[in-house]
Homo-oligomer: A and B are copies of this chain.
């Protein structure tokens, strides 16, 4: 399964050279993930259960620049599940082309923020994830 959101490049996204800042791309990717996640899971219920998404690694390639007024598509695929962590594969594509601006793997765990314990992805939690695939 794949999910796409669009973001238009504004002046306030750009740096001195007309490029989108490295940190801003992480926000675009985060927007893509939440937009995907909220379609399949009940975030409020997860929060009440003490299930929180925490990124543990981000590996991001900046491939091409994007420019003012362009429309970017944030593509997010179903997370790839491991035993204790999972990976979102995402890319940012210039709309109407196959030009990849950014691609990234975001590895995350589900954590109880009070105990700060990582929860294994099994049982009820794994079932919940399967709704996203």
Residues of A within 8 A of B (CB): 10-12, 14-19, 21-24, 26-27, 30-31, 34, 38, 43-44, 52, 54-63, 65, 68-69, 113, 116
Chain B residues contacting A61 (CB-CB under 8 Å) are 56-57
Q: Name 20 extra pairs, CB < 8 A, besides A11-B16, A54-B62, A57-B62.
A: A10-B30, A10-B31, A11-B15, A12-B23, A14-B16, A15-B15, A15-B16, A16-B16, A16-B18, A16-B68, A22-B30, A22-B58, A23-B26, A38-B69, A44-B69, A56-B62, A57-B60, A57-B61, A59-B60, A65-B116
Chain multiplicity (copies) = 4
Going nearest first, the 9 A-B pairs with the smallest beta carbon separation are A23-B26, A23-B23, A59-B59, A14-B16, A17-B113, A23-B27, A58-B60, A57-B61, A12-B30
